[in-house]
Amino acid sequence: MGYELWISPNTGIRRKGTTFKELQSIFIDKITTKFIFEPIFSCKLSDESTHVKEALEFREFDIVGVINDNNQIIGFAERLELNGGPIEQFIKQIVMSYVISDSTPISKLLNVLAERSFAFVINENHIDGIVTRADVNKPIVRIYLFGIISLFELHLNFWIIAYHENESWKEKLNDKRLDEANKIFNMRKGQNEELSVLECIQLCDKKTILKSTNDFIEQFEFSKIQFERLLNDIETIRNELAHSQNSIISNIEWSVFVKTISEAEYFLIRSEKIVEDKANI
């Protein structure tokens, strides 16, 4: 499978629904923080902090909003700091860097949460809720991440084919890995005559092939160590998504998670440009 997946070989027209920009536009124009944030649990200035802490622990929340007599949020407190006395002793001011709009795209929310573990969500000039790193586990965000990783793997397949004619990539895998790929191929083939053995190898195999493909490494300005790290981290995220774990970030640090998705997005944008240029030659 070459660039025909993205570009029609007959018309030269880009096939709809195959670009990273199209995937991202869905999550910019239509799917926003509005769909994943939670109403913020709140208390009064005079409430006893130990009682509030118990309520937060029961709900598994870390942040509590603090409201005035008009039920307006005027600050917040953190569960770990509550150790007795009225809440007003622990109140913190909500600064603008802690506030985002409910129209913030999911694709940008990850970077927002890279700087802090939560953000207050504003709607119509008042704080309407809170979004945290845990919210990336919700189905909408999982779909976005799975789309990125699926496109990423398709582009890896393209570059393996581009640099290894006549399935010469097989020479870079040991017999055990090839046998495993052939077993999967024979199980999945059925009536699918277009299925290839390449589509049956694992992400770790693609890493092995392309890491030792110097032209690929040079074209995308990777170091071999950097490329291996990126593929390892993507595989971790992909496995968490595929296995429907309750938390897709439990086995990876948040900073690494955000960096990995950002690097995958950058690779896709650059790869798509090269693919399109090749198709127009």
CATH number, domain containing residue 102:
3.10.580.10
- State whether 73 and 156 are in the same domain: no
The beta strands (E) that lie in the chain are given as: 42-44, 63-67, 73-78, 99-101, 118-123, 126-132
Helices (H), 164-253: 175-189, 203-211, 214-219, 224-242
Instruction: Provide block-wise average pLDDT over 10 residues at a time, the chain (281 residues).
Output: 52 56 69 91 95 95 92 93 94 92 89 91 87 92 89 91 92 93 86 79 94 94 95 93 83 92 92 76 48
Look at residue 1 in the predicted model and tell me its pLDDT: 44
Q: Between the CA atoms of 177, 181, 187 and 193, what dihedral angle is there, to the nearest 10 degrees?
A: -160
The verdict on 128 and 166 lying in the same domain is no
Q: Are residues 143 and 267 in the same domain?
A: yes
Q: What is the pLDDT of residue 274?
A: 85
User: What predicted TM-score, i.e. pTM, was given to this entire model?
Assistant: 0.81
pLDDT at 83 (0 to 100): 93
Task: For strands 73-78 and 63-67, give the pairing.
Answer: antiparallel
Count how many Cα atoms sit within 13 Å of the Cα of residue 229 in the half-sphere of its side chain: 11
Provide the pLDDT for residue 16.
Answer: 56
Cα 20 to Cα 164: distance, rounded to the nearest angstrom:
25
**Structure tokens of 74?**
């005027």
Range of the domain at 17: 3-29+139-279
Contacts by residues 220-227 (CB-CB < 8 Å, ≥ 24 positions apart): 220/267, 220/270, 220/271
Please tell me whether residues 45 and 168 are part of one structural domain.
no
Contact between 135 and 141 under an 8 Å Cβ cutoff? The reply is yes
Examine the domain organization and report whether 163 and 243 are in the same domain.
yes
Helix or strand (DSSP H, E) at 258: helix 254-279
Q: How many domains does the chain have?
A: 2
Confidence (pLDDT) at 119 = 95
Instruction: Please report the pLDDT score of residue 8 as a whole number.
Output: 53
143 with 269, same domain: the answer is: yes
